[in-house]
Amino acid sequence: MKKAFLAIAVCLFFTVLSHGQVINFAKTLPVRAFSLSVAPVYNVPNVFHRDMEGVSYMLMAGYGLGYDVDMSLKYAYTNSDDFFGVDVQYLFRETRSSYYSFFGGMHKWEEYGIDLTVSYTHTPQYWINLSAGLDMDVDFTSQLELRAWIPLNVGINLDDRYYLFLEYDLPANERAWDILGGGITFIFR
């Protein structure tokens, strides 16, 4: 309980969650497993980031460090500056069909920023994952810029080696924009 409280306090302290990651499932990778995800992403522009309009392409690689910890590297080709990011995920609670995780990391997109995400995943059946969470960025520019999303996604496990996912990132503040993504993740054990 103290670990969960500390993790929540850290999240509230930074009030920053990740850059519309497009894959926000709370379950971590198996120990020493690698993952590779490919995801085209459609960005709906807003008045603050018109340059993000259109399709971006994301490539994500992950590695299972422990039963409840994994890390990922992300690259996105966008219409503006390319996005590079790294984050660590901590699975702080697991029940029979539910997972709760925190993600924290850094990124470089236009400016440097800090990422932090809280995510919940429910698996009503083995082959389907339903997730929601809170996802925010803070960029360190001449002024501090905060963007927030509510990621909603569905993942379909085709077997233990790969799954398909769709995600809609609902803007949670005026500086965020709608993001619709989908893709496939391959897991190598």
Q: How far apart are CA 181 and CA 185, in angstroms?
A: 13
Q: Read off the tokens for 38.
A: 């490919």
In contact, 109 and 41? CB cutoff 8 Å: no
List the chain domain ranges. Answer: 2-188
Q: pLDDT tens for the chain, 189 residues: list them.
A: 454 443 433 333 332 233 445 566 778 888 999 999 999 999 887 777 777 788 999 999 999 999 999 999 999 988 778 889 999 999 999 998 999 999 999 999 878 999 989 999 999 998 999 999 999 999 887 778 899 999 999 999 988 888 899 999 999 998 899 999 999 999 999
* DSSP per residue, 133-183: EEEEEEEESSSEEEEEEEEEEEEEEEETTEEEEEEEEEE-STT---EEEEE
Which is nearest to 36 in space by CA: 61, 57, 58, 64?
61
Architecture label for domain 2-188: Beta Barrel (2.40)
